[in-house]
C-alpha cells in the first residue's frame, strides 16, 4: 500500500514521532539482523511525511522481550505515557506484533491514540485510530497477531506434551542424575555423589524427619553435592552443607525413585500480572511414568517418604499431622486423638515447684484438645487429660507386647548402628580420596608448567597449597570421627546392647534411651490412641495392622491429693475451723510445729486446699449453720433499716462474728428477747449508758 500524507496534519507534525523497535528474544536480536534494519528504516518514512530528524524518538530498550504483555516492557510503557500526554504525533512500528501481542495492550493503545489524535504507521500504511474504518482494520490486525502467537505456542506446547506423555522430554535433572550421550537418564558417574545421596535416604528412613536428617549431616560434617545449571560454575560438582529446603526438595522429587513426571505444578497469573506456582495433586499430573530410569530408591519407598512428610506437617488451618517424634516426655505426642471431636490432641507440660524446697520440681504432662477453644473463642477446652498415669499404662503395655521379640529387636538395632557407622565412614573415605586426587592433580599441573612463566607458576603453586590444606583438614577430621565411631562399636557397647536385650523393660527404662527413640518405637507398633474422659479415662489403642485394645483408667488425683496429709492434721484443722480464720489456723499450726505431708510449714493456700479436697466446711458455713445471719437478713427480721442495725452494732447491742479479712465479711447473732427489750427501752428513754456487755 502506498503511503499517503492526507491524514498527516500540521498538528501532527508539531509533535514528535515515536519509532518502537522490538525483537522477542536475544537470539533473534543476534541472528535476525535484517528485521532490525527494516524497523530502523521506518525512520525515513517519518522524514518523508514531514517530521524532522530531531523530532524522531527511537525506543529500542525492549529488545529481547516478548510482546505477550507489557508488565516488564519499560519502553512500551514509556511510549503509552508519551501518547497519553499528547506528545506523540505518530507511533511507528514495522507491524502490529512489534507493538503488542495481546489485544488488551493493543486496544488500550488504540483508545489512547484516538483520544489524543495520534497516528499509527506500519510497513503497509498510515492509520488514524479516530476513524472507524482504520480502527476496525487495526483491531483485526491486533487480533490476528495475538492468534498467531497462540498458534505458535500451541504447536510448541503440543510437541512438548506428546514427548512428556511418552517420557522422552528432556528436562533438567536433580543432583545425582545426569544424561548420557544417548540422552538417557543415569546415575551420576561419581561414586561419591551416589553414595552420599543413598546415605541421605537411609538417614531419613531411620529418623523420619527432614530436619533431623539435616542436623545429623551437620553433626557428622557430611557435605552434600550440587551441580549449578547456570553461572560460572555451570555443571561443576560443588560440595556444601545440606539445607532443610534442599532436603525437602529431594524427598518430594519422584525422579530419585526412577519416575519420569511432568506437569506437577500449574502457574496462575494474578491481577498484577505476576505468576504464582501451585502444586497439583498427583492424579492431575500430565505424566507419571514409573521405572523410566534407574533410581536411588523404589517407588514404594518414595510413597512412604511422602506419607511421613505429610504426617510431620504442623498444620493449624486444617487437619493436624502426627509430626515427627520430638523432645519431651509425652509418649503419645502426635498420636493422641480426642474421643469427642476426633482432632489430634496437643501436648502441654507444667512443673510444680515447691515453695519451701525450690530445688525439687515435679513435671506433669497434659493432653489437650483446644482447637475449638482457640478458633471459636470458647471458654472451655474440649478435653484436658493428665498424661503421667496414662503414659505409664501405655509404657507397660508396650513392654508386655515387645518382650517376646526383644532379642531380635536388639540385634537389628546393633546391625543398624554398625551399618550407619560403616556408611558414614565410607563417605568420609571417598571425600579423603577425592581430596588426595586434587592434591596430586594440582601437583602435576605445577610440575608441568614452564618455570619461566612466573604468573602461571605462582597461580598453580597457590592451588597446590590450597589443595594440601583441604586434604590436611579432611584427614584430621577423618581421624577424629573414626575415634568416635570406634567408641560406638567397641566390645563393651555391643555387649551392653545385647545384655539389655534380654530384658526389654530395662531397655525401655534405661536412662540412655532418649524419649524421642521411645516415641519412634511406639509408632512402629501403634497407629493412634483415642482418649475420652468421663467418670474415667477410656483409652482405645489402634495398632498397626488394625488390631485394637481398650484400657479404662481412673481419673488421676490432683497433685495435692497425691500427697498424703496426716489424719491428725485434717482433724485438727476441722476443729479449728469452728472458731478461727484460715490465717489464724496457720499461725496456731506452725506454733505447734506441725508439718504438711511434704514436711513443709503451713500456708493459707494449704488450709484452703485441705478444706477443698477433704470437704471441710468453712468458718462462714459453720456460723450460718449455727443461725448466724447477714446484715440484710437480720434487718429484715427485725424490721429496721441497715443504718439502725449498724448503729446498734456500734453500741454493742448486737454481737458479730468475722469470717474473713474484710470489714464487711461478718455475720450477726440474732438478739435474744431480753436484748430486744433493752434496745427498745434504750430507744425510748435515749439512755446511752444502758448498753449490754458483749
DSSP SS3 for 478: helix
Q: Please report, to the nearest 10 degrees, the dihedral formed by the alpha carbons of residues 540, 544, 546, 548 taken in order.
A: -30
What does the pLDDT read at residue 486? Answer: 61
Q: Is the pLDDT of residue 249 over 50?
A: yes
Q: Are 64 and 29 in contact (CB under 8 A)?
A: yes
Examine residue 400 and state whether it is found in any structural domain, yes or no.
no
For residue 130, is pLDDT > 80? yes
The pTM of this model reads 0.48
Q: What is the mean pLDDT of residues 489-497?
A: 58
Tell which of 128, 162, 196 closes a domain.
Answer: 162
pLDDT of residue 205: 87
Domain count, the chain: 5
Nearest to 395 by CA among 251, 533, 225, 539: 539
Residues 644 and 623 in one domain: yes
Examine the domain organization and report whether 151 and 15 are in the same domain.
Answer: yes
Band of the pLDDT at 485, cuts 50, 70, 90? low
How deeply is 233 buried, as exposed, middle or buried, from its count of CB atoms within 10 A (0-12, 13-18, 19+)? exposed
Residue 344 has pLDDT above 80, yes or no: yes
- pLDDT per residue as tens digits for the range 572-619: 888 888 888 888 888 888 888 888 777 778 888 888 888 877 788 888
pLDDT for res 665: 81
Task: State the average pLDDT over residues 98-123.
Answer: 86
Asked whether residue 1 is domain-assigned, the answer is no
C-alpha cell at 587: 499461725
Pairing of strands 383-386, 287-289: unpaired
pLDDT score, position 88:
92
Examine the pLDDT at 183 and tell me if it is beyond 60: yes
Please tell me which of 165-169, 255-259, 331-335, 338-342 the model is most confident about, judged by mean pLDDT. Answer: 255-259
Write down which residue in 248, 280, 312 finishes a domain.
312
Band of pLDDT at residue 638, cut at 50, 70 and 90: confident
pLDDT band (50, 70, 90) for residue 252: very high
Domain harbouring 261, CATH code: 3.90.1750
Residue corresponding to grid cell 487437619: 319
Any domain includes 326? no
383 in Cβ contact with 345 (< 8 Å): yes
* 80 in the same domain as 46: yes
* Any domain includes 395: no
Q: What is 348-411 written as a DSSP string?
A: EEEEEE-SS-TT-EEEEEEEEE-HHHHHS--SS-SEEEE-HHHHHHHHHHHHHHHGGGHHHHHH
Q: Report pLDDT for 250.
A: 92
Give the per-residue pLDDT at 18. 93
Say if residue 347 is in the same domain as residue 413: no
Asked if residue 140 and residue 59 are part of one domain, the reply reads yes
262, containing H or E segment: strand 260-262
Looking at per-residue pLDDT, the higher value among 508 and 142 belongs to 142
Give pLDDT, residue 5: 61
Q: What is the tens place of the pLDDT at every residue in 272-291?
A: 667 788 888 888 888 898 98
Burial class (CB in 10 A: 0-12, 13-18, 19+), 674: exposed
Mean pLDDT of all residues in 625-636: 82
Task: State whether 124 and 245 are in the same domain.
Answer: no
Residue 318: inside a domain: no
The answer to whether residue 28 scores a pLDDT higher than 90 is no
Q: Domain check: are 526 and 504 in the same one? A: no
Would 596 be classed as within a structural domain?
yes
Task: Give the model confidence (pLDDT) of 163-172 as tens digits.
Answer: 888 888 888 8
Give the whole-angstrom CA distance, residue 242 versus residue 200. Answer: 10
| pLDDT computed for residue 102 by the predictor | 80
User: Cα separation of 325 and 394, whole Å?
Assistant: 16
- Most confident range (mean pLDDT) of 119-133, 556-570, 599-613 is 119-133
On average, the pLDDT of the chain sits at 79
235 vs 500, which has greater pLDDT?
235
Backbone Cα Rg of the chain: 44
- 312, 327, 359 - which closes a domain: 312
Residue 167 in domain:
no
Catalytic one among 10, 24, 61, 641?
24
What are the start-end ranges of the H helices in 450-503? 454-488, 491-501
Residues 479 and 610 in one domain: no
512-538: average pLDDT: 82
What is the per-residue pLDDT across 354-377, written as a single tens digit (0 to 9) for each? 554 445 556 778 888 877 666 555
Domain of residue 438: give its range: 405-509
Same domain, 205 and 295: yes
pLDDT mean over 52-81: 84
Give the model's pLDDT for residue 116: 92
Q: Looking at the structure, do residues 534 and 612 belong to the same domain, yes or no?
A: no
Mean pLDDT, rounded, for 33-43: 85
Most confident of 91-95, 226-230, 492-496, 541-545: 91-95
Please list, in sequence order, all residues whose beta carbon lies within 8 angstroms of the beta carbon of residue 642, skipping any fewer than 6 positions away: 631, 632, 635
Q: Within this chain, do residues 157 and 198 fall inside the same structural domain, yes or no?
A: no
Same domain, 147 and 194: no
**Residue 270: is its pLDDT beyond 50?**
yes
Q: Is residue 562 part of a domain?
A: no
Q: What is the number of other CB atoms lying within 10 angstroms of the CB of residue 117? A: 16
Is 24 a catalytic site residue? yes
Amino acid at each position: 500500500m502506498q503511503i499517503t500524507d492526507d491524514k498527516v496534519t500540521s498538528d501532527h507534525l508539531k509533535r514528535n514521532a515515536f519509532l518502537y523497535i522490538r525483537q522477542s528474544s536475544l537470539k533473534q536480536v543476534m541472528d535476525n539482523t535484517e528485521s532490525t534494519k527494516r524497523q530502523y528504516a521506518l525512520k525515513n518514512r517519518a522524514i518523508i511525511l514531514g517530521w524532522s530528524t530531531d523530532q524522531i524518538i527511537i525506543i529500542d530498550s525492549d529488545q529481547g522481550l516478548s510482546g505477550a504483555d507489557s508488565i516488564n516492557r519499560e519502553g512500551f510503557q514509556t511510549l503509552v505515557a508519551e501518547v497519553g500526554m499528547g506528545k506523540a504525533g505518530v507511533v511507528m512500528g514495522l507491524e502490529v506484533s512489534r507493538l503488542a501481542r495481546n489485544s488488551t495492550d493493543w486496544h488500550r493503545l488504540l483508545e489512547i491514540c484516538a483520544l489524543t489524535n495520534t497516528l499509527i504507521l506500519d510497513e503497509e500504511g498510515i492509520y488514524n485510530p479516530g476513524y472507524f474504518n482504520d480502527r476496525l482494520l487495526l483491531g483485526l490486525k491486533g487480533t490476528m497477531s495475538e492468534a498467531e502467537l497462540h498458534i505458535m505456542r500451541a504447536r510448541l506446547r503440543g510437541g512438548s506434551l506428546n514427548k512428556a506423555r511418552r517420557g522422552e522430554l528432556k528436562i533438567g535433572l536433580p543432583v545425582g542424575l545426569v544424561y548420557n550421550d544417548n540422552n538417557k537418564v543415569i546415575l551420576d558417574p561419581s561414586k561419591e555423589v551416589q553414595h552420599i545421596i543413598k546415605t541421605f535416604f537411609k538417614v531419613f528412613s531411620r529418623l523420619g524427619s527432614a530436619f533431623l536428617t539435616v542436623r545429623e549431616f551437620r553433626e557428622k560434617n557430611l557435605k552434600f553435592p550440587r551441580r549449578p545449571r547456570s553461572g560460572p560454575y555451570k555443571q561443576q560438582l560443588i560440595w556444601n552443607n545440606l539445607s532443610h529446603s534442599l532436603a525437602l526438595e529431594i524427598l518430594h522429587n519422584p525422579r530419585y525413585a526412577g519416575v519420569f513426571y511432568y506437569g506437577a505444578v500449574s502457574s496462575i497469573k494474578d491481577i498484577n500480572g505476576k505468576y504464582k506456582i501451585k502444586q497439583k495433586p498427583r492424579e492431575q499430573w500430565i505424566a507419571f511414568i514409573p521405572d523410566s530410569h534407574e533410581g536411588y530408591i523404589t517407588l514404594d519407598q518414595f510413597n512412604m517418604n511422602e506419607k511421613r512428610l505429610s504426617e510431620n506437617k504442623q498444620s493449624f488451618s486444617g487437619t493436624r499431622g502426627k509430626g515427627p517424634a520430638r523432645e519431651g516426655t509425652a509418649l503419645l505426642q502426635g498420636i493422641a486423638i480426642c474421643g469427642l471431636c476426633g482432632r489430634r490432641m496437643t501436648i502441654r507440660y507444667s512443673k510444680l515447684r515447691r515453695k519451701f524446697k525450690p530445688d525439687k520440681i515435679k513435671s506433669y504432662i497434659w493432653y489437650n484438645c483446644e482447637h475449638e477453644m482457640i478458633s471459636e473463642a470458647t471458654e472451655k477446652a474440649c478435653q484436658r487429660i493428665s498424661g503421667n498415669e496414662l503414659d505409664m499404662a501405655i509404657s507397660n503395655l508396650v513392654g508386655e507386647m515387645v518382650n517376646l521379640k526383644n532379642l531380635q529387636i536388639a540385634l537389628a538395632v546393633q546391625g543398624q548402628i554398625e551399618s550407619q557407622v560403616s556408611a558414614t565412614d565410607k563417605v568420609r573415605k571417598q571425600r579423603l580420596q577425592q581430596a588426595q586426587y586434587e592434591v596430586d592433580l594440582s601437583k602435576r599441573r605445577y610440575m608441568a608448567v614452564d618455570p619461566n612463566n612466573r604468573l602461571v607458576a605462582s597461580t598453580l603453586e597457590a592451588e597446590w597449597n590450597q589443595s594440601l590444606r583441604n586434604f590436611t583438614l579432611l584427614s584430621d577430621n577423618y581421624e577424629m570421627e573414626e575415634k568416635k565411631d570406634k567408641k560406638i562399636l567397641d566390645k563393651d557397647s555391643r555387649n551392653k546392647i545385647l545384655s539389655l536385650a534380654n530384658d526389654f523393660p530395662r531397655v525401655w527404662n534405661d536412662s540412655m534411651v532418649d524419649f524421642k527413640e521411645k516415641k519412634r518405637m511406639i509408632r512402629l507398633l501403634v497407629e493412634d490412641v483415642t482418649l475420652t474422659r468421663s467418670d474415667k479415662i477410656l483409652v482405645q489403642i489402634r495398632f498397626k495392622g488394625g488390631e485394637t485394645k481398650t484400657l479404662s483408667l481412673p481419673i488421676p488425683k490432683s497433685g495435692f491429693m497425691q500427697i498424703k496429709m496426716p489424719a491428725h492434721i485434717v482433724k485438727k484443722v476441722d476443729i479449728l475451723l469452728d472458731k478461727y480464720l484460715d490465717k489464724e489456723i496457720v499461725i496456731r499450726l506452725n506454733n505447734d510445729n506441725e508439718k504438711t505431708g511434704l514436711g513443709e510449714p503451713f500456708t493459707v493456700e494449704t488450709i484452703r486446699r485441705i478444706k477443698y479436697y477433704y470437704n471441710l466446711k468453712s468458718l462462714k458455713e459453720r456460723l450460718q449453720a449455727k443461725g448466724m445471719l447477714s446484715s440484710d437478713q437480720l434487718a429484715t427480721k427485725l424490721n429496721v433499716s441497715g443504718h439502725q442495725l449498724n448503729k446498734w452494732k456500734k453500741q454493742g447491742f448486737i454481737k458479730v462474728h468475722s469470717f474473713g479479712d474484710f470489714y464487711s465479711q461478718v455475720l450477726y447473732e440474732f438478739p435474744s428477747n431480753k436484748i430486744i427489750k433493752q434496745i427498745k427501752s434504750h430507744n425510748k428513754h435515749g439512755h446511752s449508758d444502758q448498753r449490754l456487755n458483749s
